[in-house]
Structure 1
Amino acid sequence: MKSELIELIARVLEVLRINMRWMTWNLFLAFIPLALSMWLFRTKRGRSWVWWLGFLVFYAFLPNAPYLLTDVIHLIDDIRNIQSVWMITLVIIPVYLLVILSGFQAYVISLINLGYYLHRISKSQWIIAVELITHALCALGIYWGRFLRFNSWDFITQPDALLTRGIEETLGKQPLLIIAVTFIILVGLYWIMKRVTLGFINQLNNTTTIQSESVNSHRPKAE
Protein backbone atom coordinates (compact mmCIF):
# COMPACT_ATOMS: atom_id res chain seq x y z
CA MET A 1 0.00 0.00 0.00
CA LYS A 2 2.80 2.40 0.89
CA SER A 3 4.73 1.65 -2.30
CA GLU A 4 1.57 2.15 -4.39
CA LEU A 5 0.96 5.53 -2.74
CA ILE A 6 4.55 6.61 -3.37
CA GLU A 7 4.25 5.51 -7.00
CA LEU A 8 0.97 7.44 -7.38
CA ILE A 9 2.45 10.61 -5.89
CA ALA A 10 5.49 10.29 -8.14
CA ARG A 11 3.20 9.92 -11.17
CA VAL A 12 1.17 13.00 -10.17
CA LEU A 13 4.34 15.06 -9.66
CA GLU A 14 5.63 13.99 -13.06
CA VAL A 15 2.35 14.99 -14.71
CA LEU A 16 2.44 18.38 -12.96
CA ARG A 17 6.07 18.87 -13.97
CA ILE A 18 5.23 18.24 -17.63
CA ASN A 19 2.10 20.40 -17.45
CA MET A 20 3.90 23.31 -15.82
CA ARG A 21 6.02 23.78 -18.94
CA TRP A 22 3.18 24.34 -21.40
CA MET A 23 0.88 25.93 -18.79
CA THR A 24 3.48 28.56 -17.88
CA TRP A 25 4.21 29.30 -21.54
CA ASN A 26 0.53 29.54 -22.50
CA LEU A 27 -0.20 31.80 -19.53
CA PHE A 28 2.72 34.03 -20.52
CA LEU A 29 1.23 34.38 -24.02
CA ALA A 30 -2.21 35.03 -22.52
CA PHE A 31 -0.93 37.89 -20.35
CA ILE A 32 0.82 39.68 -23.23
CA PRO A 33 -2.46 41.16 -24.58
CA LEU A 34 -3.52 42.02 -21.02
CA ALA A 35 -0.33 44.02 -20.48
CA LEU A 36 -0.74 45.68 -23.88
CA SER A 37 -4.37 46.57 -23.10
CA MET A 38 -3.26 48.40 -19.97
CA TRP A 39 -0.71 50.37 -21.99
CA LEU A 40 -2.95 51.02 -25.00
CA PHE A 41 -6.32 51.68 -23.40
CA ARG A 42 -5.73 52.77 -19.80
CA THR A 43 -3.04 55.40 -20.33
CA LYS A 44 -3.76 58.69 -22.03
CA ARG A 45 -1.59 58.80 -25.12
CA GLY A 46 -2.03 59.80 -28.74
CA ARG A 47 -2.59 57.25 -31.49
CA SER A 48 0.88 57.42 -33.03
CA TRP A 49 2.35 54.73 -35.27
CA VAL A 50 3.75 53.09 -32.10
CA TRP A 51 0.23 52.93 -30.66
CA TRP A 52 -1.14 51.35 -33.84
CA LEU A 53 1.72 48.84 -33.89
CA GLY A 54 0.92 47.92 -30.31
CA PHE A 55 -2.75 47.64 -31.25
CA LEU A 56 -1.94 45.13 -34.03
CA VAL A 57 0.28 43.12 -31.68
CA PHE A 58 -2.54 43.19 -29.11
CA TYR A 59 -4.98 41.59 -31.55
CA ALA A 60 -2.37 39.14 -32.83
CA PHE A 61 -1.78 37.79 -29.32
CA LEU A 62 -5.31 38.16 -27.92
CA PRO A 63 -6.53 34.67 -29.04
CA ASN A 64 -3.85 33.15 -26.79
CA ALA A 65 -5.91 34.10 -23.72
CA PRO A 66 -9.16 32.20 -24.54
CA TYR A 67 -7.05 29.52 -26.29
CA LEU A 68 -6.38 28.08 -22.84
CA LEU A 69 -9.97 26.83 -22.83
CA THR A 70 -8.95 24.22 -25.41
CA ASP A 71 -6.10 22.95 -23.22
CA VAL A 72 -8.71 20.95 -21.34
CA ILE A 73 -7.99 18.19 -23.89
CA HIS A 74 -4.75 17.51 -22.00
CA LEU A 75 -6.84 16.72 -18.92
CA ILE A 76 -8.12 13.54 -20.57
CA ASP A 77 -4.59 12.17 -20.95
CA ASP A 78 -3.74 13.13 -17.37
CA ILE A 79 -6.80 11.30 -16.06
CA ARG A 80 -5.75 8.17 -17.95
CA ASN A 81 -2.21 8.38 -16.58
CA ILE A 82 -3.11 8.99 -12.95
CA GLN A 83 -6.31 6.92 -12.53
CA SER A 84 -6.90 8.14 -8.99
CA VAL A 85 -10.18 9.91 -8.31
CA TRP A 86 -8.83 11.75 -5.26
CA MET A 87 -5.66 12.99 -6.94
CA ILE A 88 -7.59 14.03 -10.04
CA THR A 89 -10.26 15.83 -7.99
CA LEU A 90 -8.00 17.50 -5.43
CA VAL A 91 -4.89 18.25 -7.51
CA ILE A 92 -5.19 17.95 -11.28
CA ILE A 93 -8.62 19.52 -11.88
CA PRO A 94 -7.97 22.54 -9.57
CA VAL A 95 -4.68 23.23 -11.39
CA TYR A 96 -6.44 23.13 -14.77
CA LEU A 97 -9.26 25.36 -13.52
CA LEU A 98 -6.79 27.90 -12.14
CA VAL A 99 -4.81 28.07 -15.39
CA ILE A 100 -7.83 28.15 -17.71
CA LEU A 101 -9.72 30.74 -15.64
CA SER A 102 -6.59 32.89 -15.36
CA GLY A 103 -6.19 32.89 -19.13
CA PHE A 104 -9.83 33.68 -19.77
CA GLN A 105 -9.85 36.37 -17.10
CA ALA A 106 -6.95 38.01 -18.93
CA TYR A 107 -9.15 37.98 -22.04
CA VAL A 108 -12.09 39.52 -20.18
CA ILE A 109 -10.05 42.31 -18.59
CA SER A 110 -8.35 43.05 -21.92
CA LEU A 111 -11.73 43.63 -23.58
CA ILE A 112 -13.01 45.60 -20.60
CA ASN A 113 -9.99 47.88 -21.03
CA LEU A 114 -10.78 48.21 -24.73
CA GLY A 115 -14.38 49.11 -23.87
CA TYR A 116 -13.13 51.68 -21.37
CA TYR A 117 -11.03 53.25 -24.12
CA LEU A 118 -13.97 53.39 -26.54
CA HIS A 119 -16.09 55.01 -23.83
CA ARG A 120 -13.33 57.55 -23.14
CA ILE A 121 -13.15 58.61 -26.79
CA SER A 122 -16.98 58.88 -26.94
CA LYS A 123 -17.48 55.68 -28.98
CA SER A 124 -19.51 53.74 -26.41
CA GLN A 125 -22.00 52.70 -29.09
CA TRP A 126 -19.25 50.63 -30.71
CA ILE A 127 -18.45 48.50 -27.65
CA ILE A 128 -20.84 45.59 -28.29
CA ALA A 129 -20.00 45.44 -32.01
CA VAL A 130 -16.26 45.52 -31.30
CA GLU A 131 -16.63 42.78 -28.67
CA LEU A 132 -18.55 40.53 -31.09
CA ILE A 133 -16.01 41.11 -33.88
CA THR A 134 -13.22 40.35 -31.41
CA HIS A 135 -14.90 37.10 -30.32
CA ALA A 136 -15.21 36.07 -33.97
CA LEU A 137 -11.55 36.86 -34.70
CA CYS A 138 -10.44 35.00 -31.58
CA ALA A 139 -12.59 31.99 -32.51
CA LEU A 140 -10.78 31.94 -35.83
CA GLY A 141 -7.42 32.37 -34.12
CA ILE A 142 -8.16 29.54 -31.69
CA TYR A 143 -8.97 27.23 -34.61
CA TRP A 144 -5.77 28.21 -36.41
CA GLY A 145 -3.77 27.61 -33.26
CA ARG A 146 -5.34 24.34 -32.12
CA PHE A 147 -5.89 22.59 -35.46
CA LEU A 148 -3.49 24.26 -37.91
CA ARG A 149 -0.79 24.88 -35.27
CA PHE A 150 -0.19 28.50 -36.20
CA ASN A 151 1.30 30.92 -33.67
CA SER A 152 0.78 34.65 -33.14
CA TRP A 153 4.21 35.50 -34.54
CA ASP A 154 3.40 33.69 -37.81
CA PHE A 155 1.83 36.98 -38.91
CA ILE A 156 5.44 38.13 -39.32
CA THR A 157 7.43 34.94 -39.92
CA GLN A 158 5.11 33.29 -42.46
CA PRO A 159 2.24 35.60 -43.43
CA ASP A 160 1.79 33.92 -46.84
CA ALA A 161 1.19 30.49 -45.29
CA LEU A 162 -1.08 32.03 -42.67
CA LEU A 163 -3.29 33.64 -45.29
CA THR A 164 -3.29 30.90 -47.93
CA ARG A 165 -3.41 27.73 -45.83
CA GLY A 166 -5.31 29.43 -43.04
CA ILE A 167 -8.10 30.60 -45.32
CA GLU A 168 -8.20 27.45 -47.47
CA GLU A 169 -8.52 25.10 -44.51
CA THR A 170 -11.04 27.31 -42.73
CA LEU A 171 -13.68 27.42 -45.45
CA GLY A 172 -14.76 23.81 -45.02
CA LYS A 173 -18.04 22.87 -43.37
CA GLN A 174 -16.46 21.29 -40.28
CA PRO A 175 -13.97 24.12 -39.58
CA LEU A 176 -16.71 26.74 -39.89
CA LEU A 177 -18.88 24.72 -37.49
CA ILE A 178 -16.04 24.50 -34.96
CA ILE A 179 -15.37 28.23 -35.27
CA ALA A 180 -19.09 29.00 -34.86
CA VAL A 181 -19.35 26.85 -31.72
CA THR A 182 -16.18 28.45 -30.34
CA PHE A 183 -17.65 31.90 -31.04
CA ILE A 184 -20.84 31.03 -29.14
CA ILE A 185 -18.83 29.70 -26.19
CA LEU A 186 -16.70 32.84 -26.10
CA VAL A 187 -19.76 35.10 -26.21
CA GLY A 188 -21.49 33.20 -23.39
CA LEU A 189 -18.49 32.89 -21.10
CA TYR A 190 -17.42 36.47 -21.71
CA TRP A 191 -20.91 37.78 -20.93
CA ILE A 192 -20.86 35.94 -17.58
CA MET A 193 -17.28 36.74 -16.63
CA LYS A 194 -17.58 40.39 -17.65
CA ARG A 195 -20.48 40.93 -15.28
CA VAL A 196 -18.76 39.09 -12.46
CA THR A 197 -15.58 41.11 -12.99
CA LEU A 198 -17.37 44.47 -13.22
CA GLY A 199 -19.45 43.59 -10.17
CA PHE A 200 -16.30 42.79 -8.21
CA ILE A 201 -14.64 46.03 -9.36
CA ASN A 202 -17.71 48.09 -8.41
CA GLN A 203 -17.89 46.41 -5.01
CA LEU A 204 -14.19 47.07 -4.46
CA ASN A 205 -14.61 50.72 -5.46
CA ASN A 206 -17.62 51.12 -3.16
CA THR A 207 -15.72 49.58 -0.26
CA THR A 208 -12.76 51.88 -0.89
CA THR A 209 -15.06 54.93 -1.05
CA ILE A 210 -16.81 54.00 2.21
CA GLN A 211 -13.49 53.48 3.97
CA SER A 212 -12.20 56.80 2.64
CA GLU A 213 -15.33 58.64 3.81
CA SER A 214 -15.10 56.95 7.20
CA VAL A 215 -11.49 58.06 7.63
CA ASN A 216 -12.32 61.64 6.58
CA SER A 217 -15.29 61.82 8.94
CA HIS A 218 -13.08 60.93 11.92
CA ARG A 219 -10.47 63.56 11.13
CA PRO A 220 -10.56 66.61 13.43
CA LYS A 221 -11.90 69.72 11.74
CA ALA A 222 -9.56 72.63 11.35
CA GLU A 223 -10.52 75.59 13.54
Structure 2
Amino acid sequence: MKKSEIKIFILIHLIVLGFYVMVYAIPSRFGFLIWNVFLALVPLDVALIHKTLQIKKQWPLRIIALIVWLAFFPNAMYLMTDFSHLSAIGTGLANPAQYLNYGVLFTGVFIGMLIGLSSLEIIVETLPFQKWYFKTPFYIFIAIVSSSAIYLGRFQRANSWDLVTNFKTLIDQVSFVMNPDLYYFVIVFGLVQLFIFSVYHLIWVRR
Protein backbone atom coordinates (compact mmCIF):
# COMPACT_ATOMS: atom_id res chain seq x y z
CA MET A 1 0.00 0.00 0.00
CA LYS A 2 1.01 3.59 -0.56
CA LYS A 3 1.84 5.78 2.45
CA SER A 4 -1.35 7.79 1.89
CA GLU A 5 -3.41 4.58 1.86
CA ILE A 6 -1.75 3.36 5.06
CA LYS A 7 -2.56 6.69 6.71
CA ILE A 8 -6.22 6.46 5.67
CA PHE A 9 -6.33 2.82 6.81
CA ILE A 10 -5.05 3.78 10.27
CA LEU A 11 -7.41 6.76 10.54
CA ILE A 12 -10.44 4.62 9.66
CA HIS A 13 -9.55 2.13 12.38
CA LEU A 14 -9.07 4.97 14.87
CA ILE A 15 -12.50 6.37 13.94
CA VAL A 16 -14.06 2.95 14.47
CA LEU A 17 -12.28 2.69 17.82
CA GLY A 18 -13.67 6.11 18.72
CA PHE A 19 -17.14 4.86 17.84
CA TYR A 20 -16.67 1.88 20.15
CA VAL A 21 -15.76 4.24 22.98
CA MET A 22 -18.86 6.32 22.24
CA VAL A 23 -21.11 3.25 22.37
CA TYR A 24 -19.60 2.23 25.71
CA ALA A 25 -19.86 5.75 27.12
CA ILE A 26 -23.40 6.55 26.00
CA PRO A 27 -26.23 4.54 27.55
CA SER A 28 -28.15 3.17 24.58
CA ARG A 29 -29.89 0.05 23.36
CA PHE A 30 -27.47 -0.45 20.51
CA GLY A 31 -24.42 -2.09 22.02
CA PHE A 32 -24.68 -4.75 19.30
CA LEU A 33 -23.37 -2.14 16.84
CA ILE A 34 -19.85 -2.74 18.16
CA TRP A 35 -19.92 -6.25 16.73
CA ASN A 36 -21.79 -5.25 13.57
CA VAL A 37 -19.36 -2.44 12.74
CA PHE A 38 -16.42 -4.76 13.41
CA LEU A 39 -17.85 -7.23 10.87
CA ALA A 40 -18.22 -4.35 8.39
CA LEU A 41 -14.55 -3.49 8.92
CA VAL A 42 -13.35 -6.98 7.99
CA PRO A 43 -14.07 -6.66 4.23
CA LEU A 44 -12.05 -3.42 4.08
CA ASP A 45 -9.02 -5.09 5.64
CA VAL A 46 -9.40 -8.10 3.34
CA ALA A 47 -9.84 -5.86 0.26
CA LEU A 48 -6.58 -4.08 1.06
CA ILE A 49 -4.84 -7.43 1.47
CA HIS A 50 -6.31 -8.49 -1.87
CA LYS A 51 -4.98 -5.33 -3.51
CA THR A 52 -1.51 -5.94 -2.04
CA LEU A 53 -1.56 -9.53 -3.32
CA GLN A 54 -2.50 -8.25 -6.78
CA ILE A 55 0.55 -5.99 -6.84
CA LYS A 56 2.73 -8.93 -5.81
CA LYS A 57 0.93 -11.19 -8.32
CA GLN A 58 0.04 -13.78 -5.71
CA TRP A 59 -2.91 -15.29 -7.58
CA PRO A 60 -3.80 -18.27 -5.33
CA LEU A 61 -3.80 -16.13 -2.18
CA ARG A 62 -5.62 -13.38 -4.05
CA ILE A 63 -8.47 -15.76 -4.95
CA ILE A 64 -8.74 -16.84 -1.30
CA ALA A 65 -8.83 -13.19 -0.19
CA LEU A 66 -11.57 -12.44 -2.73
CA ILE A 67 -13.69 -15.33 -1.43
CA VAL A 68 -13.22 -14.15 2.17
CA TRP A 69 -14.14 -10.61 1.13
CA LEU A 70 -17.31 -11.82 -0.58
CA ALA A 71 -18.26 -13.81 2.53
CA PHE A 72 -17.93 -10.78 4.82
CA PHE A 73 -19.03 -7.89 2.57
CA PRO A 74 -22.79 -8.46 3.18
CA ASN A 75 -22.19 -7.69 6.86
CA ALA A 76 -21.59 -4.05 5.92
CA MET A 77 -24.81 -3.74 3.93
CA TYR A 78 -26.67 -5.74 6.60
CA LEU A 79 -26.46 -2.61 8.74
CA MET A 80 -29.27 -1.12 6.64
CA THR A 81 -31.65 -3.47 8.40
CA ASP A 82 -30.49 -2.31 11.83
CA PHE A 83 -32.84 0.64 11.44
CA SER A 84 -35.55 -1.84 12.45
CA HIS A 85 -34.23 -1.46 16.01
CA LEU A 86 -35.61 2.08 16.13
CA SER A 87 -38.81 0.48 17.41
CA ALA A 88 -36.97 -0.08 20.70
CA ILE A 89 -36.77 3.66 21.39
CA GLY A 90 -39.70 5.01 19.38
CA THR A 91 -39.64 6.81 16.06
CA GLY A 92 -40.17 10.29 17.44
CA LEU A 93 -37.47 12.68 18.62
CA ALA A 94 -38.92 13.80 21.92
CA ASN A 95 -36.19 13.70 24.57
CA PRO A 96 -32.40 13.62 25.09
CA ALA A 97 -32.35 9.82 25.50
CA GLN A 98 -33.84 9.42 22.02
CA TYR A 99 -31.38 11.93 20.57
CA LEU A 100 -28.48 9.87 21.91
CA ASN A 101 -29.93 6.56 20.72
CA TYR A 102 -30.62 7.95 17.26
CA GLY A 103 -27.10 9.34 17.11
CA VAL A 104 -25.49 6.05 18.08
CA LEU A 105 -27.58 4.01 15.63
CA PHE A 106 -27.11 6.32 12.65
CA THR A 107 -23.38 6.69 13.30
CA GLY A 108 -22.88 2.93 13.43
CA VAL A 109 -24.97 2.23 10.35
CA PHE A 110 -23.32 4.85 8.16
CA ILE A 111 -19.76 4.17 9.32
CA GLY A 112 -20.21 0.46 8.63
CA MET A 113 -21.83 0.96 5.24
CA LEU A 114 -19.26 3.52 4.07
CA ILE A 115 -16.43 1.22 5.10
CA GLY A 116 -18.05 -1.65 3.23
CA LEU A 117 -18.63 0.44 0.11
CA SER A 118 -14.98 1.51 0.16
CA SER A 119 -13.94 -2.14 0.27
CA LEU A 120 -16.17 -2.83 -2.75
CA GLU A 121 -14.52 -0.06 -4.76
CA ILE A 122 -11.05 -1.36 -3.86
CA ILE A 123 -12.07 -4.79 -5.14
CA VAL A 124 -13.56 -3.28 -8.32
CA GLU A 125 -10.28 -1.47 -8.98
CA THR A 126 -8.49 -4.82 -9.03
CA LEU A 127 -10.79 -6.39 -11.63
CA PRO A 128 -8.94 -7.44 -14.80
CA PHE A 129 -11.46 -5.56 -16.97
CA GLN A 130 -12.33 -1.94 -16.20
CA LYS A 131 -14.97 -1.15 -18.83
CA TRP A 132 -18.41 -0.31 -17.49
CA TYR A 133 -20.03 -3.28 -19.26
CA PHE A 134 -17.78 -5.61 -17.26
CA LYS A 135 -18.14 -3.82 -13.95
CA THR A 136 -21.93 -3.43 -14.11
CA PRO A 137 -22.64 -7.22 -14.05
CA PHE A 138 -20.20 -7.49 -11.14
CA TYR A 139 -22.13 -4.88 -9.14
CA ILE A 140 -25.41 -6.67 -9.93
CA PHE A 141 -23.92 -9.99 -8.82
CA ILE A 142 -22.68 -8.47 -5.56
CA ALA A 143 -26.09 -6.85 -4.91
CA ILE A 144 -27.87 -10.19 -5.38
CA VAL A 145 -25.42 -12.14 -3.22
CA SER A 146 -25.41 -9.43 -0.55
CA SER A 147 -29.23 -9.16 -0.42
CA SER A 148 -29.59 -12.93 -0.15
CA ALA A 149 -27.02 -13.02 2.66
CA ILE A 150 -28.73 -10.13 4.47
CA TYR A 151 -32.01 -12.07 4.37
CA LEU A 152 -30.36 -15.18 5.81
CA GLY A 153 -28.64 -13.09 8.47
CA ARG A 154 -31.71 -11.14 9.51
CA PHE A 155 -34.33 -13.90 9.43
CA GLN A 156 -32.31 -17.13 9.81
CA ARG A 157 -29.52 -15.68 11.99
CA ALA A 158 -26.89 -17.08 9.63
CA ASN A 159 -23.34 -15.74 9.86
CA SER A 160 -20.39 -15.47 7.48
CA TRP A 161 -18.38 -18.09 9.35
CA ASP A 162 -21.20 -20.61 8.87
CA LEU A 163 -19.73 -21.12 5.40
CA VAL A 164 -16.87 -22.95 7.14
CA THR A 165 -18.22 -24.11 10.50
CA ASN A 166 -21.83 -24.96 9.58
CA PHE A 167 -22.00 -25.27 5.82
CA LYS A 168 -24.59 -28.07 5.69
CA THR A 169 -26.93 -26.20 8.06
CA LEU A 170 -26.49 -23.07 5.96
CA ILE A 171 -27.45 -24.95 2.80
CA ASP A 172 -30.51 -26.33 4.59
CA GLN A 173 -31.47 -22.78 5.60
CA VAL A 174 -31.12 -21.60 2.01
CA SER A 175 -33.39 -24.42 0.82
CA PHE A 176 -35.90 -23.61 3.56
CA VAL A 177 -36.22 -19.92 2.69
CA MET A 178 -36.53 -20.32 -1.08
CA ASN A 179 -39.93 -18.63 -1.24
CA PRO A 180 -41.56 -15.49 -2.69
CA ASP A 181 -40.69 -13.48 0.42
CA LEU A 182 -36.97 -14.08 -0.20
CA TYR A 183 -37.30 -13.12 -3.87
CA TYR A 184 -39.15 -9.91 -3.03
CA PHE A 185 -36.55 -9.02 -0.36
CA VAL A 186 -33.67 -9.65 -2.77
CA ILE A 187 -35.28 -7.54 -5.50
CA VAL A 188 -36.00 -4.61 -3.16
CA PHE A 189 -32.71 -4.59 -1.27
CA GLY A 190 -30.77 -5.50 -4.40
CA LEU A 191 -32.10 -2.38 -6.13
CA VAL A 192 -31.43 -0.29 -3.02
CA GLN A 193 -27.83 -1.46 -3.02
CA LEU A 194 -27.40 -0.86 -6.74
CA PHE A 195 -28.51 2.76 -6.29
CA ILE A 196 -26.09 3.13 -3.37
CA PHE A 197 -23.27 1.41 -5.30
CA SER A 198 -23.83 3.70 -8.28
CA VAL A 199 -23.71 6.94 -6.32
CA TYR A 200 -20.72 5.87 -4.25
CA HIS A 201 -18.86 4.66 -7.35
CA LEU A 202 -19.35 8.01 -9.08
CA ILE A 203 -17.98 9.78 -6.01
CA TRP A 204 -15.09 7.30 -5.67
CA VAL A 205 -13.85 7.55 -9.26
CA ARG A 206 -13.76 11.34 -8.99
CA ARG A 207 -11.91 11.51 -5.70
TM-score band, normalised by shorter chain: 0.7 to 0.9
Does structure 2 retain, via aligned residues, the 8 Å contact 1:148–1:166? no
Task: Report the equivalent of 2:33.
Answer: 23
Q: Distance in 2 between matches of 1:70 and 1:122?
A: 32
Q: CA deviation at 1:47?
A: 3.8
**Unaligned segments of structure 1, at least 5 residues:** 1-11, 202-223
Given the alignment, which residue of 109, 120, 125 partners 1:116? 125
Q: Per-residue CA shift, 1:95-120, capped at 9, x if unaligned?
A: 222111111112211111112112xx
Q: Distance in 2 between matches of 1:23 and 1:103?
A: 9
- 2:190 pairs with 1:190: no
Note the aligned Cα RMSD (angstroms): 2.2
Q: Distance in 2 between matches of 1:195 and 1:181?
A: 22
Task: Report the equivalent of 2:168.
Answer: 160
Q: CA deviation at 1:153?
A: 0.2
Q: Per-residue CA shift, 1:158-208, capped at 9, x if unaligned?
A: 111111221331x21112111211101111122223333444x2xxxxxxx
Task: Report the equivalent of 1:85.
Answer: 94
Q: SS of the counterpart of 1:19? A: coil
Q: Distance in 1 between matches of 2:97 and 2:80?
A: 18
Letter in 1 for 2:141: I
Task: Report the equivalent of 1:98.
Answer: 107
Q: How many residues align?
A: 181
**Unaligned segments of structure 2, at least 5 residues:** 1-24
Does structure 2 retain, via aligned residues, the 8 Å contact 1:79–1:88? no
Task: Report the equivalent of 2:179.
Answer: 172
With over 3 angstroms needed to count, the CA separation of the structure-2 counterparts of 1:155 and 1:182, relative to structure 1, is same
Given the alignment, which residue of 109, 134, 150 partners 2:142? 134
Greater mean deviation of Cα atoms: 142-151 or 91-100:
91-100
Task: Report the equivalent of 1:215.
Answer: none
Does structure 2 retain, via aligned residues, the 8 Å contact 1:154–1:162? yes
Q: SS of the counterpart of 2:30? A: helix
Letter in 1 for 2:203: V
Q: CA deviation at 1:123?
A: 4.4
Task: Report the equivalent of 1:216.
Answer: none
Identity of aligned residues (%): 20
| Deviation beyond 6 Å, 4+ runs, structure 1 | none
Q: SS of the counterpart of 1:129? A: helix
Q: Distance in 2 between matches of 1:168 and 1:45?
A: 42
Greater C-alpha radius of gyration: 1
Does structure 1 retain, via aligned residues, the 8 Å contact 2:30–2:101? no
